[in-house]
Chains A and B, each alone.
Chain A
Amino acid sequence: MRVLGRILKWGAAGLGSLVGIILLAVAIAIQWPSLWFNSKTARWGARQAKKAGFELSWQSDRIHARNLSLLTKRFDIELDQVCFKMEGKTAAVSPVDACFGHLEASATISLKSFPPRVEVLGPVVATRGQATVEPAQFKESPQEKKDSEPFEIPDWIKTARLAPVRVEVDQWKLKIPGQVLTGNLHLRNEDVASGSLWRLKLEESLKKGAAAHQGDLALALRSESGQWKGPWKVSSDARVKFRDGKRARASLQLQQAGEVEVDYQLEGSFKDRDKLAEVDARGRARPDRVQGELRASASNWVKNLPRLSVAGCAYDLRQVTGEGTQERADGRYQLRCPVKVKVPVPPKEGVPDFQLPAEIGATLFADLRSEFFPSAKSPVSGAVSIEVDPVLSPLFRGQGKVAAQVGGVPEEFPDHWQLDTELALSVDVPEFKRFVDLLHSTPWAIPAPLNSLRGKVGFGLRGEADLSGGRVPLFFETDLRSSVQRVSAEARGEMRFTRPAPEKVLASLNLEVLLREIKIVLPRLGLEAPPRLFPDSRVLTRRPEPKKAGENFEFDYRVHIATPPGSPAQLVSNRAKSPVPLHLDLTLAPTSETNSAQASGISGSVRVGEFKLDLFRRDAQVERFQVSLERKRDESKIDGSIRFNYTDYVVRVLLFGQMESPQVKFLSEPPLPEEQIIATLLFGRPIDELDPDQQESVGSMQAALVDQALSLASLYLFASGPIQRVSYDPDAEVFSASFRLGGGTSVSVGADTEQVRSFGVRKRLSRRWSLVTDVERESQRGQERQGQTASAFLEWSYRY
């Protein structure tokens, strides 16, 4: 016990001595802080920091610690040529190398509490600074992100009063891959009446590369309490001027409105020559909700659209409690955004003035759900729609709406996305004439004879689509008329989209066009050959472009054009006594043939109804006439029958075979030889009563018909004129005809071969008179030695 008591006694004495020594040491340290806060301990500390990767050195120092009271100490550090260097040991820490010519820092620390608190921080003066920062990585690793905690100002400094701070970095460098960003930085803190105000002024420039620029940033951070705890008010203004002339400016105002609420106001602009984008967003944000109003505009970014703007665009991004998972809080994003599109007035040169309103409006609605706060990796779902305000102009009226149910991960778009869209659009042209007048002097002028029509035209579409494809029903209606013409038609069909592969889109149009009432006037034709209305497809005016491999968009179409059974389309021509009734049943589809000259995109049939016409200077009745068009042009067939009533007999001209070289058969009741029928048709008289020239014409016509040398159009043209003479060169398969005009003149149509290869040349002067050159055969000239004798005669002949 004694021993124990002695031990306890010595132990208590030792402990008391130790406590006494410690208390004494603490008292000494408190009373004489310069004992532990001096140059030597500072250098010792710097050496220890170097071991931790933070290298700190200076040339000379003046370090003082003073007693302001027993428990209030002031520490002053003054260093010359101070440098610090930090190695980037982890990806999150960037290497820093900085030096200041002079550094002063002071702090007043109160030892009245534990841990001790900083009562006054500063003044801090760092001048003639130079710094180089080389960010090791820009991306955080997921592990580091998970481990990192939000930085919080420790309590022992949070209540410190800020004395003036002045940091001047004359030159800093930020090394990024391939580039060096340089600039200067001035940071000040001042005591102002309403607290403390931090001002940061930063200038930076990038000399090389596409992003070469010069910029400056002014940042003001005000703490109304004059301490680190706020309330805070941040004001920043940044400007960047790029070397290629682009300019950007941004201004951000943040005002702490509560413990976790911030009022914000962001204004920004970007200018690239005449392109200008401006944005103004203001509202309130808190950790679980961001709401505000956006005003933005973009000028001259889209061709022919001078300005696109949104104003009063309300958005509300908020966390929806109780609906998310434990890991991810659910967010709801709502948007109601009026959009205005400014229409160019006056229009660009060459572009007609469609008399559109100065602005076309639309409203964008969105109600989306996603992770809060959203990221490109978080799934999004909800509804988005655009409603176009009704467009009213003197020329047309139009309105439209597109609504979509969306769902997917933004960064994966369009893969795995749902985009179920409904769209509706309608455009009406109430007065077609105005449209005609408007377009008259433009490259899109409505051509004659349609430009004489009056009435209205309507177009619309309504349908659904998604990313795997879509179906958009559309319609088109016209109700146009002029004094003679009429174009009343309606088209209904649908446009389909499919995506057989992610990068490939197939579009197809299927349209049914019903020509309810069509009456069109053809140009007035003369007896001469009809002019070429379309370029000859055999002549290529530009080199054929090979189809690009891997084209991602393919368009297919099928347009069916038909006339109602009892209402054929009518063609009015000066070469027909009455309108030609056409029953159409045609299908237009793209040609798959490589040689487009041999293939046509049109198939179906054109049937001419019964009508009277003037053929061969007689009344004729078309009993039937049908053209069956095939995709391969040379397989297109005709089948027709034209009846001529004579006193004693009926003549029928049958047309059949290929459309481009039809076969013609002449039949009569009672039966007559074919040449007799042709003679009657061509010249109105039996062949016996024709002069030799006319008889030859009958033969030529017969030969040309046998050779199928006459196209349908040529046949009609020849048949509808007063034929005087017909000639046909079988070698060249060239048919020509002379028509008798008034006043004893005639006009020749077709390539007029003069049969220079024939035996003898005969030039008809009148019905029986000809000019003839002849080479007589030797055998008929008896004994004349040189039997081949040429002669030229004025010949009168009579065949009987």
Chain B
Amino acid sequence: MTKPRRAGRNKNRFAELKLGVIALLAYPLIAGCANLQKREEKTAYREVCPQVYIEKVEEDGDVSFNDVERRLLCGDKDDKARIGEEWKVIPLAQAKFHMQAFLQDRAYYRPKFEERDGKLYVRLGEPTRVAAIRVEGAPPALDIGRRREILGARMTPAVLDEVEQWVIGRMHALGYACPQVSSQAQASTGEIRLQVLPGEILNVTSVVEEPIPGVEAGSFRRYDAFLLGKPFQGDFVRLTERRLVSESVVQSAHFEARCTPQGVQLRQETMPGLPRILTFRFGASTEEIPRVEVRWRNTRLGSSASLLDVTLLGSPRQQGLQGVFTWYGFPSDRRLYIRPSVELRHENEQYFESLSANARVAPGRTWDLPSIGGYVDLGPSLDLVRTLRGEGQPDALFLGLQGEIRAQTHYFEFYRNSPRAGFNSTLRFNLNSRKVLSDISAQRLEWYGETLWNYRQYDPPLWILGGRWGLGTTMSGESLASAEGLPATFRQYLGGIQDLRGFGRQELPGPTGALSAAFASVEIRAGILRFLPSGLQPLAFTDFGALGREEWSLDSPLYWSPGAGFRWETPFGVFRTTAAHGFQSGGAADRAQDFTHWQFYLSYGEEF
């Protein structure tokens, strides 16, 4: 009798256990459903107008509507309006129709509408984000994967425009002057399909200029970053426009590309403006606060549109007056110029104070190859330097030969204010000899440059790796310690935002300066990262530098400064802030020679 009872009890327990397991398994489902229901019930709405309510979105901010949109959703309630009576009453069905179109602009393609008590309640659903981009018909060189910030972005018509324009821009850069691009997107999958009709790679055959009164045709060809007879390159056409505007020779410039069977015909449209510009500036340079400039320019002097520039500047560290005339007087070669200049300058730096006058005549020529350009100039230079404080002889006269050669890639120039690619390099020399009317024989040579590498050529960049270097030496028989020695302008200093950011401006190696200096910097900067606010770009760097008391030699210690900072691109310009610690390795003789410390810089308009 016992066994059956136990069996029955066990059976009951088993049944209870089964119920428990079922309940346990069912609980999440039931709870989930309940939560879902609660969520449904808890949808919070915000009033757009008394007849339209829209779901509140906490994550990305509420959807807002402008006045016209509001009128089309809610009716035109302005009784004072001259017209609008006919739009006073918007039926909910019409409001719903408009709402669908407006929400599409915000990437909400699956809104749900509910009408209750004569009111329209709109649940937004999830916005559609771009999940994939497929390009058909484009040449293999066009890699849509290089375009960042689109995948994952809200798939709005504006994003479609953006992608289309990017592809057109890249096609221009690849030499296709007149591509046709159309797009189609699938709201349910977030897939964008681009159809590209590239056309052909065409050479630039001619430039048709809109005449500018008083300026000979062809004068502005000196600014061309593109080459006639070579394939069209859209970015370099834009670069040419910028060169024209940045030199202020015209107020605005634009090239219209027309495709013909023979090639691309560029039509230069300019708005020249008046040639003379008077400017007063008050502000701050990188390491000078305040800085005042008065500048007068004539940007189209003569029929060849030569440049005359007179600048008066003043700051606590520098005061000067400079006049530069760049004369393009060679119709056979529009890039050839002669640049006479005079300059009076007073400098008051940490280790020296000097007054100098310079007169120079520098014939030169700019040049542009398919992807690189630059200039070279060479000419006599007369310098009078009076050292008021610091090392060097009190008065010195230099008559020498000064020259400069510069090369930079077009893309370095193109992205100059948002650096990301290319390189530039400058070689500069100033040769003086006692034998030729100079008080001191001193040959100063400098080579510096920088290169930037955009990781995987993303646009906008993801990571930018930069390198910067400089070598300089002054060959002279004079001793650094000699009171009759070289003036400060021939001495080498390091330190500051331009080379070693862990040290103060021209702090190294001390008051006497050096005859040789070298530095190298590496910097890595992140592109725009979504998780950082307002487009802040973090960066890290290490600078290395060394100086030598002799020409062509470097001594200990090795100065180096690791650091980090941020770059912030704003509509007003670029802010950069860095914090670095200066170290010196080997050869610290005494405390006075110990320059190790933290250095903080906040710059505006400065780039790596």
Contact = CB atoms under 8 A, between A and B. Distances in A.
A790 B187 contact: no
B153 to A, nearest CB: 14
A528 B68 contact: yes
Contacts of A444: 93
B159 to A, nearest CB: 10
B16 interface: no
Contact of B157 (A528, A538, A707): A538
B338 interface: no
A793 B343 contact: no
Interface stretch (A313-321, A463-471, A638-646, A691-699): A691-699
B103 to A, nearest CB: 10
Interface string A513-548: 000000001011110101111111011111100000
A779 to B, nearest CB: 7
Interface stretch (B17-25, B198-206, B554-562, B569-577): B569-577
Given A524-B84, A675-B271, A759-B246, A532 B605 contact: no
A703 interface: yes
A782 B118 contact: no
A183 to B, nearest CB: 47
A695 B94 contact: no
Contacts of B394: none
Given A730-B238, A782-B358, A482 B269 contact: no
A797 B358 contact: no
B148 to A, nearest CB: 16
Nearest to B490: A783
B605 A791 contact: yes
Interface in B244-277: 245-246, 250-254, 256, 267, 269-274, 276-277
A97 to B, nearest CB: 55
B188 interface: yes
A449 interface: yes
B93 A448 contact: no
Interface stretch (B52-60, B70-78, B328-336): B70-78
A69 interface: no
A790 B286 contact: yes
Contact of A706 (B254, B276, B281): B254
Interface in A758-782: 758-761, 763, 771-775, 778-780, 782
A538 B83 contact: no
A791 B104 CA distance: 43
A574 B66 contact: no
B375 A779 contact: yes
Contact of B417 (A532, A534, A775): A775
A9 interface: no
Contacts of A448: 75, 86-91, 94
Contacts of A536: 104, 157, 160
A779 B416 contact: no
A574 B81 contact: yes
B322 interface: yes
B281 A773 contact: no
Contacts of A523: 68, 71-72, 76, 84, 87
Contacts of A205: none
B598 interface: no
A501 B82 CA distance: 59
A798 B278 contact: yes
Contacts of B267: 706
B101 interface: yes
A355 B263 CA distance: 71
Interface string A743-763: 000000001001011111101
Interface stretch (B5-13, B134-142, B178-186): B178-186
Nearest to A679: B271
A532 B100 CA distance: 10
Given A531-B69, A574-B84, A702-B254, A772 B281 contact: yes
A568 B325 CA distance: 64
A441 B383 CA distance: 88
A440 interface: yes
Interface in A369-425: none
A539 B104 contact: yes
A799 B274 contact: yes
A596 B240 CA distance: 39
A783 B504 CA distance: 21
B86 A449 contact: yes
B319 interface: no
B603 interface: yes
B606 A790 contact: yes
Contact of A796 (B279, B383, B470): B279
A734 B414 CA distance: 19
A445 B572 contact: no
B150 to A, nearest CB: 14
A140 interface: no
B498 A786 contact: yes
A421 B486 CA distance: 115
Contact of B91 (A445, A756, A787): A445
A785 interface: yes
B109 A452 contact: no
Contacts of B446: 785
Nearest to A754: B571
Contacts of A574: 81-84
A775 B416 contact: yes
B102 interface: yes
A789 B286 contact: yes
A699 B68 contact: no
Nearest to B110: A541
A790 B472 contact: no
A783 B358 contact: yes
Interface in B113-160: 115, 118, 155, 157-158, 160
A598 interface: yes
A773 B605 contact: yes
B604 interface: yes
B482 interface: no
B280 interface: yes
B242 interface: yes
B168 to A, nearest CB: 8
B353 interface: no
Interface string A426-460: 00000000000001111111111101100000000
A541 B109 contact: yes
B95 to A, nearest CB: 9
B62 interface: no
Interface in B373-423: 375, 377, 383, 404, 406, 414-418
Given A483-B85, A523-B76, A451 B91 contact: yes
A151 interface: no
A731 interface: yes
B256 A707 contact: yes
A3 interface: no
A774 B605 contact: yes
B91 A447 contact: yes
B254 A775 contact: no
Interface of A: 439-449, 451-452, 482-485, 521, 523-526, 528, 530-536, 538-543, 572-574, 595, 597-598, 675, 687-688, 692, 695-696, 698-700, 702-703, 706-707, 730-734, 751, 754, 756-761, 763, 771-775, 778-780, 782-783, 785-787, 789-800
Interface of B: 66-69, 71-72, 75-76, 78, 81-94, 97-98, 100-102, 104-105, 109, 115, 118, 155, 157-158, 160, 162, 165, 168-169, 182-188, 238, 241-242, 245-246, 250-254, 256, 267, 269-274, 276-286, 291, 293, 309, 322, 324, 339, 341, 343, 345, 358, 360, 375, 377, 383, 404, 406, 414-418, 426, 430, 446, 448, 470, 472, 489, 498-499, 569, 571-574, 603-607
10 contacts: A532-B102, A538-B182, A542-B188, A699-B273, A703-B254, A763-B572, A779-B339, A783-B489, A792-B283, A792-B604
Given A533-B72, A597-B184, A780-B309, 12 more contacts: A446-B91, A524-B81, A535-B101, A538-B160, A540-B185, A779-B404, A782-B343, A786-B470, A787-B426, A790-B607, A791-B284, A800-B274
